[in-house]
Amino acid sequence: MVVRGMARAFVYPRLELTRWSPLRRLVKHRAFQFMLILPNLAVFVLVLAAAFLGTPVGNRNFAIIFVWIVWWAALIVLLIPLAGRIWCAMCPIPAPGEWLQRLAIVARRPGRPFTLGLSWPRALRNIWLQNGTFLAVALFSAIILTRPLATGIVLTLFIGLALLLSLLFERRVFCRYVCPVGGFIGLYAMVAPLELRVKDPQVCVTHKEKDCLRGNAKGYPCPWMAYPGNLWRNIDCGLCTECLKACPKENVGIFLRPFGQDLLLARAPGWKGRSLDEAYKAFIMLSCALIYSAVYTGPWGFLKEWANLSDPAGFALYAAGFLGLNLIGLPGVFLIAVALARWIARAEIPLRRLFVELAYALVPLGLTGWIAFTLSFVLVNISYAIPLLSDPLGRGWDLLGTASHPWTPYMPELVPLLQLPFLWLGLAVSIGLAFRIAQQNLEDAAKARRALLPIASFMTLIVLLFQRLYLG
Amino acid sequence: MNTWGERCPGVRMRGTWFLVSGIGLLGFIAPVVGLALSLTPGRTPVVREIELLSQAFHYDPLQPGEAHTRHALGGRIEVRWGERVVLHLRAADTAHGFYLDGYGINRIVQPGEEVTIEFIAIRPGKFRFRCSETCGPLHPFMIGELVVTPNLPFYGSALGTIFLALAVVGRFWWLKREA
């Protein structure tokens, strides 16, 4: 029997990029990840210096502009949609902890790692903690995104926590289970057309040594605690390429593929299936894109004051509304839509199951919603970066002669025209995905078609809400 | 059983596809037409005077003579297409800027002074105005809205969204039924 959505040795077309020998040699080189991390680490050090030593004026400080505008825009608009978790491969935050754990930076050092090596608690082997850490950061975003010192403290906390966890626990538990950024990168990486996978899962079945899991002289055991033989989704892979280095069978590669294949997957060996923690991540991201659009690009001064902690009672209201919409409001409305879908389709599947399954259809819409929100402030504010190239700390320097470049919003009146295609693309893809997921879970296509009506209506309403905020 | 599909499946499929494509196309055309219309200048030379008080980190539009309330619901100004808008800009706390998207207007106002800005609302739609003078932590997010009604780009694009959703759902309803 063929189960719909079952992993069947990669039924979609794939182009193995690592068949091109220069690329293969590059990613198999031990210094590959270090070379990715090094420039980001240099920028990160500058970010921390600017955050702690530079001017407290946010739009004159390298830390604020380069982290929350330049890096954020690159991450959301380019890196995640096109290359999935590639940022996780080059992120400097877990690097010191990992290097300390390995007692090496580039080389494959044999022997016991420098860590207590505790196992991460089974109850936390999901992304609930990442949902929580993201909400905590997002709730205080008006402070963190605008005050260099707050940005510096948060980034230092991240690096400190990553270091501490690497000393206590095995491998990269910070990236896999704690990092607030890694959580949503993983979710949206499932859309990307780039994947690291095995070429033939059957080779892994017959290969008893499992070098990718245990490591060998050429590569460390997977820092993300994934087994490539059962790796089906980008959310579980940090693209560090250790397995590619370690595999003696040359059975691991980096592939181009059609967008969004991981979201079509319903069942696969070694994977428990779609889960509530990831479904909630989809809700949280979608809610936050809406809330941020209202708070940061809307005309409501009282919302900005509340988010800015100007008034404790106002902030309490904001926090209640923020968490309420994220955790209850949006999921609640979606639950009603799913209940309606289940009723219209006369489906037997439990409501909770269908709720979780269909929530994954919101992933493309959430990603394009974030792209639309990001576009709303990037073109307007990116020119703040130009003087900072000459004066990163806001100390009155003019290293490159660009320090006096004025704030210049680029084509701000055209931003809605750029946002619309992304919102429409997200809507179309999400409706299509909802139909496929409904087909996987309901007995026949007719039921899936009926179930699609309330879900598509929900998605349309979300896009209309975005449009109301951007154009209305 | 799908009997009509069996009688002449090819023709039916093409017909449905044309219908779905037509609806989808209309959805995309509507906002474009709305935006094209937005390029036509207005005709009624009515003057709208508005006092605009700027303070960290929002704008409060007031009718002339109206007392300022600290938590005004939003810095949103609505005018009719073609009206001559006269803004009397003041600053309550520190120097603020006023940059109006799409109009190329950029002025700075100091506390205690009033800057008058005049323009004709020549295009319908929503245009943001932003503080262009660094005024504090949330300065990049100090934003107000000028809505020139009728807001054709919004209504056009909202129609486009609905048509698009109908077209995508229709694709699964009709085409898959025939498959």
Q: With bands split at pLDDT 50, 70 and 90, how would you rate the model's confidence at A367?
A: very high
Delimit the domains of chain B by residue range. Answer: 3-38+155-178, 47-151
Closest Cα in chain A to B60: A301
Contact A156, A168 (CB under 8 A): no
Average pLDDT over residues A220-240: 96
Is A297 in Cβ contact with B141 (below 8 Å)?
Answer: yes
Please indicate if any CB of chain A lies within 8 Å of the CB of B145: yes
Question: Residue A390's pLDDT is what?
Answer: 95
Compute the nearest-CA separation of A403 from chain B (Å).
15
Please indicate, yes or no, whether residues A456 and A328 belong to a single structural domain of this protein. yes
Rounded to the nearest angstrom, the gap between the alpha carbon of residue B104 and the centroid of all alpha carbons in its chain is 17
ipTM value? 0.91
Please indicate, yes or no, whether residues A218 and A139 belong to a single structural domain of this protein. no
The answer to whether residue A227 is domain-embedded is yes
Compute the nearest-CA separation of B145 from chain A (Å).
6
pLDDT of residue A2 exceeding 60, the answer is: no
Compute the nearest-CA separation of A446 from chain B (Å).
8
pLDDT of residue B39 exceeding 60, the answer is: no
> Token match 């120097």: residue?
B95
Q: What confidence tens digit (pLDDT) does each residue in A147-165 have?
A: 999 999 999 999 999 999 9
The answer to whether residue A274 is domain-embedded is yes
Q: CA-CA distance, A33 to A236, in Å (whole number)?
A: 18
If contacts are CB pairs under 8 Å, which of residues 115-144 in chain B contact chain A?
125-128, 130, 132, 134, 137-144
Among B141, B157, B165, the residue with its CB nearest the CB of A420 is: B157
Q: Look over chain B and give the mean of its residue pLDDT values, rounded to a whole number.
A: 80
Average pLDDT over residues B101-127: 95
Average pLDDT over residues A458-466: 98
Contact B103, B69 (CB under 8 A): no
Closest Cα in chain B to A378: B140
Please indicate, yes or no, whether residues A287 and A243 belong to a single structural domain of this protein. no
Please indicate, yes or no, whether residues A247 and A114 belong to a single structural domain of this protein. no
Question: Residue B5's pLDDT is what?
Answer: 31
CB atoms within 10 A of CB B179: 9
Please indicate, yes or no, whether residues A438 and A303 belong to a single structural domain of this protein. yes
Partners of B75 on chain A (C-beta within 8 Å) are 299-301
Partners of A424 on chain B (C-beta within 8 Å) are 160-161, 164
Please indicate, yes or no, whether residues A208 and A166 belong to a single structural domain of this protein. no
Average pLDDT over residues A91-109: 96
pLDDT of residue A3 exceeding 60, the answer is: no
Q: With bands split at pLDDT 50, 70 and 90, how would you rate the model's confidence at A262?
A: very high
pLDDT of residue A353 exceeding 90, the answer is: yes
Q: Judge: domain B47-151, CATH 2.60.40.420.
A: yes
User: Domain of A124?
Assistant: 31-183
Please indicate, yes or no, whether residues A352 and A472 belong to a single structural domain of this protein. yes
Calculate the alpha carbon distances from A186 to A68, A73, A114, A196, A399 in Å: 19, 17, 27, 13, 38
pLDDT of residue B16 exceeding 90, the answer is: no
End-to-end Cα separation, chain B, in angstroms: 12
Question: Residue B38's pLDDT is what?
Answer: 54
Is A471 in Cβ contact with B59 (below 8 Å)?
Answer: no
Domain count, chain A: 3
Residue A427 has which token pair?
A: 């809507």
Average pLDDT over residues A209-213: 92
Question: Residue B9's pLDDT is what?
Answer: 39
Q: With bands split at pLDDT 50, 70 and 90, how would you rate the model's confidence at B11?
A: very low
Question: Residue B17's pLDDT is what?
Answer: 54
Is A301 in Cβ contact with B60 (below 8 Å)?
Answer: yes
Partners of A147 on chain B (C-beta within 8 Å) are 137
B-interface mutation test, from A413, A442, A447, A468, most B Cβ less than 10 A away:
A413
pLDDT of residue B72 exceeding 50, the answer is: yes
Q: What percent of chain A has pLDDT over 90?
A: 95
Q: With bands split at pLDDT 50, 70 and 90, how would you rate the model's confidence at A443?
A: confident
Average pLDDT over residues A368-378: 97
Please indicate, yes or no, whether residues A252 and A383 belong to a single structural domain of this protein. no
